[in-house]
Amino acid sequence: MTDLNELQIFAAIAREMSFTRAAQRLGISKAGVSRALVSLEARLGARLFERTSRQLVLTEAGETYLRHAKSAMEQAEQADAAVASLNEQPRGTLRVVMPVTLARAFVAPRLAAFLREYPDLRIEIVLRGGQIDPIAHRVDVAFQTARPETDAQTIQRRLASAPLGIYASPEYLARAGVLGSPYDLQQHSCLLITTGHQGATWVLHKGSIVQEVRLRGRATVGDPGILARLCRDGAGVAILPEWIVRETAEAPFLVRVLPEWTPAPIELYILYPTRLSMTPKLRAFLKFIETAGGSPENYLASN
C-alpha cells in the first residue's frame, strides 16, 4: 500500500537532490529521510536514485515514480483543500493575468468592492494579452481570447462572447471614400491586430453569407485600445470590439462602417490550474467575475 509520507520524502529528495536539504525542508532527521527511501525502494523492488559520494541522480524508475508521486500528492492536497475550504474564508494572494482593455473596462470598476468583501485576500493583476499557460507562468487565473488547448492540469471555462464591428473616423471616410462592400476594404488603409483570429484576412458575415477579404495592413498592433485611437486619428479602418468603442474616449469620433457585415465575435476564456479548483480564493474570484448583471457575457454584449 502506498505510504504518502514516503511519497513526500521521496519528492523532497528529488527536488533537493540531497538527503540533508530534504531533511531540513521536511523538519525531520537525515537518518529518517534515508530510512524512508530505503523502505520505499525495498517495497518497489527498484532503485530510485543512483548514489555517489558527490551527488544523487534519479534513475529511470525514479523519474517514472516521481511523475506519479506528484500526481498522487496533488490529489491528496485537493482532497484536504476540498474539506478545509467548506468553512474557510478566502485568503492569501491570487495572481491574475488578463488583457489591459478587459481589466480597465470590466474589472477595475468592481475591484474595490471585491477587496472590501474579502479583507484577507490579496490580488496581483498582470496586464498581458495572448495565450497564457497559468502553470508555466505561475499564475492562478488567466484570461485569453483564443480557445485554449486541452490540458489535464488546467481547467478552462468560456466566459463571454464579445461582438465586433468595423469602424473608422468621419475624417478618414471623407478623405478616403465611403465603403460600399467588403471588397472595398482592399483599397483602404486597414489597421490589424497582431493576435487573435483576424490576422491579415477579415472574415465577415451577413446572415448566411460569408466573405473573406485578404488585406495588407497599414499598421499592425497588439492592443485594440491603440487601434481605436488610430481610427480616431484618421489612420484607417479597424475591426474593434464594440465594448472597447463604448468605453473609450474614442467613441464619439468613430462610426460603424459596413454595419450589415459583422466579424465573428471574440470568445473570452478563463483558465486556472486544476489544483486550485476547490480553493476559497478562486471560488470567490469566479463568483466576482460571473456575478449576475455584471458578468462578462452581459457586459461585453450590451449596447
Rounded CA-CA distance 174/170 in Å is 6
Q: What is the mean pLDDT of residues 268-279?
A: 78
Rounded CA-CA distance 88/72 in Å is 24
Confirm if 225 and 244 have CB atoms less than 8 A apart.
yes
Q: Is 219 helix (H, G, I), strand (E, B) or coil?
A: strand
Nearest to residue 140, comparing CAs of 242, 296, 279?
279
Q: Which three cell numbers stand for residue 156?
A: 478552462
Of 16-25, 191-200, 218-227, which has the strongest mean pLDDT?
16-25
Same domain, 189 and 70: no
Q: Residue 173: what residue type?
A: L
DSSP letter assigned to residue 201 = E
Confirm if 145 and 266 have CB atoms less than 8 A apart.
yes
Per-residue model confidence (pLDDT) at position 293: 43
CATH of residue 155's domain is 3.40.190.10
Rounded CA-CA distance 199/205 in Å is 16
Q: Which three cell numbers stand for residue 91?
A: 485568503
Q: What is the mean pLDDT of residues 202-229?
A: 88
Rounded CA-CA distance 74/291 in Å is 30
Same domain, 173 and 255: yes
Confirm if 218 and 234 have CB atoms less than 8 A apart.
no
Same domain, 257 and 287: no
Q: By residue range, what is the domain housing residue 41?
A: 4-86
Per-residue model confidence (pLDDT) at position 258: 94
Same domain, 148 and 16: no
Q: What is the mean pLDDT of residues 152-157?
A: 79
Which of 28, 55, 86 is the last residue in one of the domains? 86
Same domain, 279 and 294: yes
Q: What is the mean pLDDT of residues 2-9?
A: 79
Rounded CA-CA distance 303/299 in Å is 9
Average pLDDT score over the chain: 82
Which of 58, 86, 114 is the last residue in one of the domains? 86
- How many domains is the chain built from? 3
Same domain, 100 and 187: no
**Beta bridge partner(s), residue 211:** 204
Alpha helices, H only, the chain: 4-16, 19-26, 30-44, 60-84, 100-102, 108-117, 170-176, 224-232, 242-247, 280-289, 296-301
- Lowest pLDDT segment from 130-144, 179-193, 218-232, 261-275: 130-144
pTM above 0.75, yes or no: no
pLDDT above 70: percentage of residues in the chain: 84
Rounded CA-CA distance 181/191 in Å is 17
pLDDT higher than 80, residue 111: yes
Same domain, 82 and 113: no
Angle at 63 between CA 61 and CA 64, to 5 degrees: 65
Rounded CA-CA distance 276/90 in Å is 12
pLDDT higher than 50, residue 292: no
pLDDT higher than 60, residue 287: yes
CATH of residue 42's domain is 1.10.10.10
4 compared with 64, residue with greater pLDDT:
64
